[in-house]
Homo-oligomer: A and B are copies of this chain.
Amino acid sequence: MQTVHVDLAHAPYDILIGAGLLADPQAILQHLTQANAVIVTNTTVAALYLAPLQASLVAAGVSVLPVILPDGEQYKNWTTLNSILDALLEHRCERKTTLIALGGGVIGDMTGFAAAIYQRGVPFIQIPTTLLAQVDSSVGGKTAINHPLGKNMIGAFYQPRLVLADLATLHTLPAREFAAGLAEVIKYGLIDDAVFFAWLEQNIAALLRRDVEALAYAVERSCSIKARIVASDEREQGVRAFLNLGHTFGHAIEAGLGYGQWLHGEAVAAGMLLAARASKLLGNLGEQDVQRTEALLQAAGLPVVAPALGFDRWMALMAQDKKVERGHIRFVLLRHIGEAYIATLPEQHLREILL
């Protein structure tokens, strides 16, 4: 087991990474403030992992309420959030009741947001079961739901007490979702660590066959990079925005096609290549680095051609981005592989890269 410490001044916490952590409730028990917990999960994950987790907690004397949601990004909305809150109220959950998110990014984001706003905040533990959630969404305290006018528009910064990344759960992940998680792994190389990017180029095959040592290294590196960035800028006033490489384009793809058509990581993959191309047009990233980016995304099984939304629609969708300031869209771009920066893009460049 490896531990990555997220060194936030007021809410520091650990990410535990290893195969088989779910079967051992000790880490969770240490963080419960009262002998009861609510496990929020979805129908797919419940069938695989709810029973063993629930049983291990119950055996340790914890009273457990499972809340099982429908599976999919299209349910990351008010209605589903309310169904969590209704369950908490109907079962008289208290301020010291811990919410445990068991699932992917959608479950983590919604459970975290429910924990942030139920009685103005209750304790919260993340057990991410997808690669995307283990390397990205479960770390850093961003919680949210979608709004018809924009992704993740309603939410809170709210930190978990503990993140438990059980690598064994990745073996049941469908190939398409696994690849979507790799998009965020590749992102860390692009924005922060050229050596890790090169390691990914060498080890992409091992990752795709879910070699547990390769997974452990990739998850640990990803969490370490994210933890360092988040600790230096919890509320996204500065460098944390680099984590959004490809996301302004990606969110427009997701919203433009309708949430749930492209997976988040797929949209981010196509968005990162757009950002790489835009960086090249601005005279930063070289053509060879654009090609390396495209090649690694393709090798990971990710889409590299963004859908043709039409220029005006692209611009309208991106204008909803949370990084917009005074009407200007601020893009995360690349100086070279391993170093990001933020800038606006001239319309001519946007027209050149967008369909």
A320–B156 CB distance below 8 A: no
Binds B, one of A41-49, A144-152, A263-271: A144-152
Task: List, in ascending order, chain B residues with CB within 8 A of A142's CB.
Answer: 120
Q: How far is the CB of A321 from chain B (nearest CB, A)?
A: 9
Determine the chain B residues whose CB is within 8 A of the CB of A301 once the complex forms: none
Inter-chain contact B94/A156, CB cutoff 8 Å:
no
Residues of B within 8 Å of A343, CB to CB, are none
- A96 at interface (Cβ–Cβ under 8 A)? yes
- Whether A89 lies near B155 (C-beta < 8 A) is no
How would residues 297 to 336 of chain A score, 1 for a CB under 8 Å from any chain B CB and 0 otherwise? 0000000000000000000000110111110000000000
Contacts of A150 in B (CB 8 A): 89
Provide the bound-state CA to CA distance between A160 and B325, in Å.
21
B90 contacts A149, C-beta separation under 8 Å: yes
Q: Contact at A144–B156, with CB atoms within 8 Å?
A: no
A118 at the interface (CB under 8 A from B): yes
Bound Cα distance A156, B325 (Å) = 25
User: Is the Cβ of B116 less than 8 Å from the Cβ of A156?
Assistant: yes
Partner of A119, one of B90, B92, B94, B322: B322
| In the assembled complex, A291 has its CB within 8 A of some CB on chain B | no
A154 within 8 A of B: yes
Out of B78, B86, B95, B319, which one reaches A322, CB within 8 Å?
B95
Contact residues in B for A10 (Cβ distance below 8 Å)? 10
A116 to B121, CA, bound (A): 12
A235 on the B face (CB < 8 A): yes
Q: A92–B321 Cα gap in the complex (Å)?
A: 9
Bound complex: CA A157 to CA B319 (Å): 29
Say whether B118 contacts A153, CB under 8 Å: yes
B147 touches A85 (CB 8 A): yes
Q: A85-B147, A89-B320, A92-B319 are in contact. Are A119 and B153 (CB under 8 A)?
A: yes
Q: How large is the interface on A (under 10, 10 to 19, 20 to 34, 35 or more residues)?
A: 35 or more
Whether B156 contacts A324 by the Cβ 8 Å rule is no
**Does A202 interact with chain B (Cβ within 8 Å)?**
no
Asked if A117 is at the interface (CB within 8 A of a chain B CB), the reply is yes
Pair A94/B324 contact, Cβ less than 8 Å = yes
Query: A82 within 8 Å of B by Cβ?
Result: yes
Q: Name A156's contact: one of B85, B95, B149, B156 (CB within 8 Å).
A: B156
Given A147-B89, A150-B89 in contact, is the A156-B120 Cβ separation under 8 Å? yes
| A34 interface residue (CB < 8 Å to B) | yes
Q: A86-B147, A90-B149, A120-B156 are in contact. List 6 more A-B contacts (CB 8 A).
A: A92-B319, A94-B324, A117-B155, A118-B153, A120-B155, A121-B156
A113 to B120 Cα, complex, angstroms: 10
Does B117 lie within 8 Å of A154, measured CB to CB?
A: yes
Which of A86, A89, A157 counts the most chain B CB atoms within 10 A? A89
How far, in Å, is A33 (CB) from chain B's closest CB? 10
**Contact indicator A85/B117 (Cβ below 8 Å):** no
Residues A107-131 near B (CB distance < 8 A): 113, 116-121
Instruction: Among B89, B94, B117, B322, point to the contact of A325 (Cβ < 8 A).
Output: B94
> Which 4 A-B pairs rank lowest in CB-CB distance, beginning with the nearest?
A89-B149, A119-B322, A120-B155, A117-B154
Bound: A95/B326 CA distance, A: 10
B120 touches A117 (CB 8 A): no
Q: Which residue, A94, A118, A144, A156, has most C-beta atoms of chain B within 10 A?
A: A94
